A and B are shown apart, each in its own frame.
Chain A
């Protein structure tokens, strides 16, 4: 095995192959990884790869180039794990997952009651177009529209400064106090904790609205009436 393979670890997981790249400059790692694939193309052919890049900061060009190289070899890249927020955002922009399924923690109930820490919000610049999926444990704030076909799953509340037409799930871990608000609330589907609702056929008036769970029922009301929250 060559020197490059030292920094490339490959292991099989439930969701495909987990490839950990680390300890060297990105171009070297990519070259090493591609070489690895070319040497064992039968093993990789048709494989689904999760890439763990550690703290590497990757831009769109780098990640999409690698993805294209992989797809030319019949390998599909579907997720990128990273400690760097830049890389995570890049991966999300390219429609790649940034988390792979892990067994859920047992204390879901407890997490729920604490899933609205005041400081933990993900700030997203819109428009979120069809096919984009944002998953975050805390609150999500979108500056811009959320188009139909886009999806937001948040542990906490979701605030959309724009039109909300996609699918949103607030309080995804069971937090029933989570809310969803938007300048125009017209989601394809709206979920808070375990409740699901579709928006009623569109009325002509558009006004900021807030959706919340009240006595176990999803209700939406104009923003000004709920300023007391």
Chain B
């Protein structure tokens, strides 16, 4: 078994990197893949909360790097899924506690045991970002359909291309179809036009995502939720399946019962 290291990054903060890492990890693990996700946001960790594992942290990434524990000891097993693990970030340190070569070494140690290693990158393009992409075999750039997020994604893609990291694929998160239709939001086509890279997922905006994150219960576990399905589809595409992009416009079951679109 040789794991693929996938880094999720965005440049801009708050576009949904952590939520996506948690959901893609859950989606992959629910397809019988062995998955470890690593929180690269040292000092501002969040992945543990979104996955609902915060109260089980004993050791973290920095403990591993600095040799205070073995790698296995820092891997928290998610009990909902048989093969999902998380390595939390340290909360009391900063990005300089880890170097890009540390990340490469750590991922190399994990590779033989896993199918997937997902790295949650912090916002920005500095040390934390460099750490997160150091070991990446492929990179997912997240963006929201808004000008500032797209511009930051563009910058990040430029940096990744310059470092010859790849392949780089795009996830458009929090797409609000009603706003697109009104012309108040960039459409998928607008974003793709600008960024000119492969699309691997479109996630509709859904307030349940926030509720689920707060509860620590990733939505990808919910087979009926559209955002959850979108994350499942990303996982399937990572696994090499050809999955058509979901028709966000189709009426929900309730709307259909009520006889309106």
Binding site for B on A (CB under 8 A): 60-61, 64, 68, 71-72, 93-95, 127, 129-132, 145, 147-149
Contacts and interface: CB of A to CB of B under 8 A. Distances in A.
Interface in B193-244: 194, 196
A60 B161 CA distance: 10
Secondary structure class of chain A's binding surface, majority of residues: loop
Contact of B155 (A61, A93, A94, A149): A149
Secondary structure class of chain B's binding surface, majority of residues: helix
B158 A129 contact: yes
Contacts of A132: 158
Contacts of B196: 127, 145
B159 A131 contact: yes
A68 B162 CA distance: 14
A60 B194 CA distance: 25
Contact of A60 (B127, B130, B164): B164
A72 B99 CA distance: 7
Interface in B140-180: 151-152, 154-155, 157-159, 161-164
Nearest to B147: A148
B154 A60 contact: no
Contacts of A145: 194, 196
Most buried by B among A64, A72, A130: A130
A72 B101 CA distance: 10
Contacts of B164: 60-61
B16 interface: no
Contact of B162 (A95, A130, A147): A95
A148 B154 CA distance: 9
B52 interface: no
B100 interface: yes
How many chain B residues sit at the interface, stated as a range, is 10 to 19
A130 B99 contact: no
A16 B151 CA distance: 30
Contacts of A131: 154-155, 158-159
A62 B196 CA distance: 27
Contacts of B157: 129
Contacts of A61: 164
23 contacts: A60-B162, A60-B164, A61-B164, A64-B163, A68-B100, A68-B130, A72-B99, A93-B161, A95-B159, A95-B162, A127-B196, A129-B154, A129-B158, A129-B161, A130-B152, A130-B155, A131-B154, A131-B155, A131-B159, A132-B158, A145-B194, A145-B196, A148-B151
Contacts of A148: 151, 154
Nearest to B134: A68
A72 B134 CA distance: 13
B146 to A, nearest CB: 13
B85 to A, nearest CB: 28
Contacts of A149: 151, 154-155
Nearest to A131: B155
A94 B161 CA distance: 9
Contacts of A95: 158-159, 162
A60 B99 contact: no
Contacts of A68: 100, 130
A143 to B, nearest CB: 13
Given A72-B99, A95-B159, A130-B155, 7 more contacts: A64-B163, A93-B161, A94-B163, A95-B162, A130-B152, A148-B154, A149-B151
A60 B163 contact: yes
A163 B40 CA distance: 36
B194 A147 contact: yes
Contacts of B127: 71
A72 B131 CA distance: 11
Contacts of A64: 162-163
A93 B162 contact: yes
A129 B155 contact: yes
Contacts of B151: 130, 147-149
A184 B96 CA distance: 43
B163 A130 contact: no
Contacts of B155: 129-131, 149
